[in-house]
Amino acid sequence: MRIAVTGSIATDHLMTFPGRFGEQLLADKLDKVSVSFLVDGLEIRRGGVAANIAFGLGCLGLRPLLVGSVGSDFSDYRAWLEEHGVDTSELRESQTLHTARFVCTTDADLNQIASFYPGAMNEDAYLDLAALAGDVDLVLIGAGNPAAMIRLTGQCRARQIPFANDTSQQLATFDGDQIRDLVAGAAYLFCNDYEASLIEHKTGWSDAELTAQVGVRVTTLGSAGARVDRPGQEPVLVGPVKDVSPADPTGAGDAFRAGFLAAVAWGLSLERAAQLGNLVAVHALETTGPQEYRLDPPGLISRCALSYGQAAADELAVHLS
């Protein structure tokens, strides 16, 4: 099963300021702010929804196709993804814009001042999936340029390419009609429980009506695990992974999607898919940075046995080994 992944591709530039922003900002001068903070830490992390998901799939032994727009500054990031099993041959390189970038400074009180530069992601509207028809089995429409998400969904329908919907962070951008257009007919719908409620609120669909719009509806429940629904069938409820030591939640949802889709690609049940999704998500959760975790097959299998039983571990072991 070949999976193409679309959505944001970006780098995060994260800095720490040892003082407090509030002590440097004057209430009566906020209309003329001119201030610089001397930071004592900088971390550059590879990120972006599409890149994070593709990274996870690659680490699990698949060869996902990453589709999106990047800048000429992407060479090191490209090499990293290729080293981890991601096919970057369909990336569109902008001639004028840099790769999308998130720049954030956090102070001692965990207040943040941040900027997001979409850069080359603005050119995702020019992407064309026509050449992928018959070459990929599934396209994941991840959060990215809103216009591109709508356009790519339409291309999938027109070319009869099965697609998964994962609006996540961009859900607030769309109105009810746009969400209906993005979701209806999706082979898979990924969201957390809050996003599911927001979709129902904006579209006017009930819980059952939303489930009826898609082939498989996957809802992540945080520390409670995950739920998988299909029209007319009993839900599949999967509990959380045991003995978790959280470090950074960034990218955990993307890691879940990678694990889930890898199990689907292997032909495993939806229960096993949700279990593997939880296991990969925990690896991201326990590591600082969305692409800094490592998946050690023996450790992953052992952890699966602890949380979900030996039968589940044995099934995953066939593919993880």
Strand segments (E) across the chain: 3-6, 10-16, 41-47, 65-67, 69-70, 92-93, 100-106, 112-117, 138-142, 163-166, 188-192, 216-220, 226-229, 236-238
Tokens at 163, concatenated: 């697609």
Amino acid at 193: D
Judge contact between 227 and 192, C-beta under 8 A.
Answer: no
314 is catalytic: no
Would you say the C-alpha torsion 134, 136, 138, 140 has a positive or negative sign? negative
Environment class of 27 (CB within 10 Å of its CB; exposed 0-12, middle 13-18, buried 19+): exposed
Q: What is the DSSP letter of 7?
A: S
78 token code pair: 């490209």
Which one is catalytic: 135, 207, 254, 296? 254
In this structure, are residues 57 and 65 in contact, taking their beta carbons and an 8 Å threshold? no
Residues labelled catalytic: 254
